[in-house]
Amino acid sequence: MIIIEDREIEVIDIHVHPPDTLMDPVPPGFDSVEGELIARMDEAGVDRVALLAFDVDKNDIVANQDLFYKPVRYTRNIGGGTFGSILIEIMSWFDRVYRSEEDINKYVKKDSKRVIGFGSINPKRSEEEVKEKLRKIKEFGFKGIKMIPTFQFCNPTDECLNPVYEYAQKEKLVILSHTGCDPGLWEYPDFCEDARPIHLAEVAEKYPRLKIVAAHLGSYSAENPGIWFEEMMQVAAEHDNIYTDTSAVDPELVRRAVARIGSDKIVYGSDYPVVLTYCDRTVGMLLNLNNILKLDVSTDDKEKILGKNAKNILKP
């Protein structure tokens, strides 16, 4: 809980990832990664977080390897090495970032009042695997499903996702879908086209009772910051069931979004601990939260963005 103008405001961060403990062990002073997360929340005044599973499969790299020829040859973001060695490096990274529903549930068990679980479903998995993941999401009492079209090599409108959307709408689960680009090779158009906000418009129309949060204001990109901001504004304005989160984008874009679509459509997200020097395991969550607190918008707007909207979206 934080105080703004003598008003107590609940803070809900709808976009948080578990830290990478394979490469980076638990820092000194924390008893566990679960305890580390709670301590960072306490430090920043964050009341609750939505913690996201991340279902990516390194086999998708092999299945889609033809896509990699051009960006590996032309990108400025990757060093030397053969084509094969680069693919192997990326496959290894996919192993690191994968997080299962069981991984998320460990944090929920640590403090179920403050950690809200989100599952993740790679639509390239078999029908049986998808059903099993949906079963676990229900068993663990999770509130949503994380989709990442860039790393899952799948457009949100693909028919293979229909069973997921139908289930989520029926069970009142939130779909949180990445929009924008991703680091390195994923700045290349062939890799991020599926993460344009316009694709979520078709999903929203087909499933009008499904609540969709488009992450990153459609703007996530190192080379072209704000890449699909305008498209995101239009999509959010035209669809009652589409919202967008503030994670990993310039606070000025958040201010502009409030002016364009109103604060009712915007939810707070940090992307902790992914964004280095901005919201990572060293910096914590405080700097990111302060960026929202400093915005030139009303206290009512801040209250809605920081927690009120997320509370409404996540309720049964």
Decide if pLDDT at 211 tops 60.
yes
Which of the four pLDDT bands, split at 50, 70 and 90, describes residue 234?
very high
For residues 107-136, give the mean pLDDT: 96
Going by DSSP bridges, is the β-strand pair 2-4/7-9 parallel, antiparallel, or unpaired?
A: antiparallel
Going by DSSP bridges, is the β-strand pair 115-120/144-147 parallel, antiparallel, or unpaired?
A: parallel
Cβ(15)–Cβ(271) below 8 Å: yes
Mean pLDDT of the chain: 93
Query: What pLDDT is recorded for position 188?
Result: 87
CATH number for the domain whose boundaries are 2-57+95-314: 3.20.20.140
Decide if pLDDT at 190 tops 90.
no
- Cα–Cα distance measured from residue 179 to residue 150, given in angstroms and rounded to the nearest whole number: 9
pLDDT in tens, 295-306: 999 999 999 999
Query: What pLDDT is recorded for position 1?
Result: 85
pLDDT in tens, 75-96: 545 555 677 788 888 899 899 8
Q: Please, where are the H alpha helices in 45-188?
A: 59-63, 69-74, 83-97, 101-110, 127-139, 149-152, 162-171
Q: Per-residue DSSP letters for 156-206?
A: TT-GGGHHHHHHHHHHTPEEEE--B--SGGGGSHHHHGGG-HHHHHHHHHH
- Cα–Cα distance measured from residue 91 to residue 27, given in angstroms and rounded to the nearest whole number: 26
Decide if pLDDT at 175 tops 80.
yes
For residues 57-71, give the mean pLDDT: 88
Cβ(164)–Cβ(130) below 8 Å: yes
Decide if pLDDT at 250 tops 90.
yes
Decide if pLDDT at 7 tops 90.
yes
Cβ(174)–Cβ(214) below 8 Å: no
Nearest one of 172, 179, 153 to 63, comparing CA atoms: 153
At residue 284, the 3 state secondary structure works out as coil
Query: What pLDDT is recorded for position 289?
Result: 97
Decide if pLDDT at 247 tops 80.
yes
